[in-house]
Amino acid sequence: MKLDKAYTLDEIAELVSGKAVGNASIKAHGINEIHAVSEGDIVFVDHNKYYKPTLSSSASIVIIDQPAECPKGKALIVHPEPFEAFNFLTQHFLKKLEENSKEKPNIHPSAQVYPGAHIGKFVTIGARSVIHPGVVIYDHCIIGDDVIIHANSVIGSDAFYFKRREKLHDKLISVGNVILENEVEIGAGCTVDRGSTGSTFIGEGSKLDNQVHIGHDTVIGKRCLFAAQVGLAGCVTIKDNVVMWGQVGCAANIEIGEGAVIYAQSGVAKSLEGRQTYFGSPAIDARLKMREIATISNLTRKQ
């Protein structure tokens, strides 16, 4: 998420009552979760596993829960609860962006929005798009031209992102959006979660069947086909022309290569190369999986 203006390190530290360390001349231009950071961004870390990748990321300011050696050219803000500080900042800056924004809902005159659909604040809907009854489009989402969203689908619901604590699950507040490019079609009863701080993206000409779920910050390429009950976790990258048949499940933080085909009820646990066909759980080369099934079947019959 881009900020309404550039902020100094001291200004950010003061907002969250944290201790600033490092390059005092750094200015923050954005705030993002680790998978989406770039230079000028604020990010947070509060787990040993992620200290090194976060400190070495492109982010310029890291909110961290313990003193650490500050990488050259970066800055730290030491805070006892980086997760809470990050939540405070995203909400603070989103409010500022909305207060300063001159945007209004931008629904093209040729778009058809049926009665019973709900359109949030600052939503854009392009030419000739059709929004069926019961559809909910949350704030800041961008819908391209010639998009069809069938009944009771939800575009822009919160990311499923929680920090586990002893007595509760603490929610990361979602401030991102969803972008549907031109000629995307979303079936009935689908859910597309918005990015935690950035965008969940579905590329031009991609088609989702009924009851498909797309997790936060996932990026889907052009002309993909997903059959019913496909479920993608957050931060998945799907290249162009990928086909997933019914009930395929996909773990977080992986990539599916261009032109891959994944047969029904497969479970994708790691990244897969493009232009190959996969089956099984965990998904492997479909021909190999079929031979494996045949071999097991033959062994069973011989017993």
- Please name the residues in contact with 76: beta carbons below 8 A apart, sequence gap of 6 or more: 20, 21, 22, 61, 62, 63, 64, 68, 70
Token pair in block for residue 123: 């939503």
Report d(CA 56, CA 63) in Å as an integer: 13
- The shares of helix, strand and coil residues in the chain, as percent rounded to the nearest 5, are 20, 30, 50
Each residue of 103-136: b (16+ CB within 10 Å) or e?
A: eeeebeeebebeeebebeebbbbbeebbbbebbb
Angle at 262 between CA 258 and CA 265, to 5 degrees: 150
In Å, how far are 32, 213, 280 from 228, measured between CA atoms? 32, 9, 17
Rounded Cα gap, residues 43 and 67, in angstroms: 16
Q: Please calculate the CA angle 270-274-279 and round it to the nearest 5 degrees.
A: 60
Structure tokens at 66: 């313990």
Which member of 140, 150, 213, 216 is catalytic? 216
Does residue 216 have an active-site annotation? yes
Active site residues: 216
